[in-house]
Amino acid sequence: MRQSDDVRKSVSEFYRQEIAAPVSACCGGGSIPKGVAAKIAGYSREELSALPPDAVVNSFGCGNPLAFSEVREGDVVLDLGSGAGIDILLAGKKVGPTGRVIGIDMTNEMIAKARENIAAAGLSHVEVRKGIIEELPVESASVDWVISNCVINLSPEKHRVFAEIARVLKPGGRMLVSDIVAQDLPQWVHDNAVLYGSCVGGAISEDEYVAGLRQAGLAEVEVRERLIYDSPQIKSVIESEIPQASSCCGGPFDQSRAQRASSCCDGQFNQSTAQQLADVLTGKVWSAKIFARKP
């Protein structure tokens, strides 16, 4: 468990720094505005305009897990890794005051930001609880829908997450998550803490994802949608979500150095290496919308 706890601490620190940054940049160079993720993740302009701006600009997701879902008024929705609250706010509008939405996050700064956004939206039936997605602070068989947006890939113990999803869903309850999956990534990508925090290094293959959900006892598991990222999209995500890749202090791209990179201004990443990283990842990383049902 110690290694898994270390990964969670690293991820939490990564997003603590992200939420605190006014823009995704470092070292005084050119900056990339936060909020890029929301704009390429499948949210409509109408959805985003109806939310507190802070929830949108601090979105780090890879899709819109509520798009095409059948969430209805009165449902109970659980969001794994709710972040600043973009998806729990949208879910709150869907379920209405007779429903309930619960967000789970492990980072104090994210929880505080989400609670501010919930208050700004005036949604009293939406709440955020502190916890880890491998051990959800939620009663068994108590939710109609589990959603998640680019978070399960960050877990070092995905089998536990899949088991928890099966536990908390009511019989007949459904899961629809947007997440990053990857195929044939070099090992140094998996080992890099910065790329792990950016939702790439911890990604598993689509086949592993589907198999894990089935092993947890879920049925009707299917991939409903895919967005295979091209090089410009990957570069945008790298520059917007990895401070170390946005405007740091130079040094040519090198795989062994990239593997060790974990802090800004150490010469490991710069703007040109963001493109080189994108070239390595193009065709191997995509966003998938994955559905499952509890029998």
Domains held by the chain: number:
1
Q: State residue 188's pLDDT score.
A: 84
- Is residue 198 a part of any domain in this protein? no
Look at 62 and 208; give whichever has higher pLDDT.
208
Task: Average the pLDDT over 112-133 and give the result.
Answer: 95
171-181: per-residue pLDDT in tens? 999 999 999 99
Question: What is the value of pTM for the model shown?
Answer: 0.79
CB 272 within 8 A of CB 253: yes
Share of the chain above pLDDT 90, in %: 47
Look at residues 148, 162, 134 and name the one whose alpha carbon lies nearest to residue 62. 148
Q: State residue 162's pLDDT score.
A: 98
Q: What is the CATH number of the domain that holds 168?
A: 3.40.50.150
Q: State residue 126's pLDDT score.
A: 98
- Is residue 68 a part of any domain in this protein? yes
- Is residue 72 a part of any domain in this protein? yes
Give the span between the Cα atoms of 139 and 122, in whole angstroms: 25
Give the span between the Cα atoms of 11 and 197, in whole angstroms: 5
Residue 276 phi, psi (nearest 5): -65, -40
Q: In terms of residue numbers, what domain contains 53?
A: 2-19+33-183+203-228+284-293
Residue 15 in this model has a pLDDT that exceeds 80: no
- Is residue 98 a part of any domain in this protein? yes
Task: Average the pLDDT over 7-27 and give the result.
Answer: 60
CB 200 within 8 A of CB 171: no
Range with the poorest average pLDDT among 25-34, 100-109, 285-294: 25-34
For all residues of the chain together, what is the average pLDDT?
A: 78
- Is residue 264 a part of any domain in this protein? no
Joined tokens for residue 33: 């505005």
Crossing angle, helix 206-215 and helix 158-168, to 10 degrees? 50
Nearest-10 Cα torsion for 138, 205, 2, 103: -20
- Is residue 50 a part of any domain in this protein? yes
* pLDDT band (50, 70, 90) for residue 254: very low
- Is residue 176 a part of any domain in this protein? yes
Residue 273 in this model has a pLDDT that exceeds 90: no
- Is residue 105 a part of any domain in this protein? yes
Look at residues 147, 1, 137, 145 and name the one whose alpha carbon lies nearest to residue 61. 147
Q: State residue 12's pLDDT score.
A: 72
Please report where in the chains the tokens 């973009």 appear, as a residue: 86
Residue 227 in this model has a pLDDT that exceeds 80: yes
Look at 225 and 144; give whichever has higher pLDDT.
144
